[in-house]
Amino acid sequence: MKTRPIRCLVTAGPTREHLDPVRFLSNPSSGKMGYALATAAAAAGWKVDLVSGPVALTPPKGVKIHKVISATEMFQAVNKLFDSCDVLFMCAAVSDFTPKKVFTHKVKKDNAALTVEFLPTVDILKTVASRKRSNQLVVGFAAETKNVEAYARRKLREKSLNFIIANQVGCAGSGFEADNNAVILIGHNGGRATLGPAPKTKLARQLIAQLKSKINLV
């Protein structure tokens, strides 16, 4: 009997939360790790949907890409695709807050307020993980500047994830925007593996290989 392809959902890149049509808040995520994961998954024969924030990267071959800008748009795309996937890699760096008021036209400098009120964005990972099936894998990412493993384990537990991939950011040569990275793969059952430092493309292939055996197709 022929086994169907693994259905993989990957998010990548930053989101942008606009203050007006020409100003926004974002973060330094380049999308390289998420795009590398999507590429590696497709090369492994998986069927891949990639939900991508604004990045300057070439879409991977054999991958269906869904372009979004804001955290709300990313949530809508992930929410629509999640139920049909076997594994979710939530690699995107989603903005935690969005401006309470968004102006229709560019606000002139002389009229701009120096104080901005914010609202929390939807917690995409926690929301979809709360309804995951027993045969679905939900893999989160934790990008931290300190207490990397401790914070990652808390996120793993609080968001009911199967695995979390932790890495340190804010240091030269790895993390945001870099071509290389070093990560810790932590499982909900206590398993732990360190990968790297290595190119993100190599790490992506290693992660796909490690997690493939954990996916139960039905």
The sign one gets for the Cα dihedral 177, 166, 53, 21 is negative
Whether 189 sits among the annotated catalytic residues: the reply is no
42: how many CB neighbours lie within 10 A of its CB? Answer: 21
Q: DSSP assignment of 102-148, as one string?
A: --SSPPPGGG--S---EEEPP-HHHHHHTT--TT-EEEEEEEESSSH
Extract the tokens encoding 164. 């979390």
Q: Which residues, at least 6 apart from 66, have a Cβ–Cβ distance to it below 8 Å?
A: 49, 50, 51, 52, 77, 81
Closest CA to 139 of 97, 188, 76: 188
SS3 8: strand
The gap from C-alpha 177 to its chain's centroid, in whole angstroms, comes to 14
The active-site residue, picked from 27, 79, 147, 216, is 27
Cite the active site residues: 27
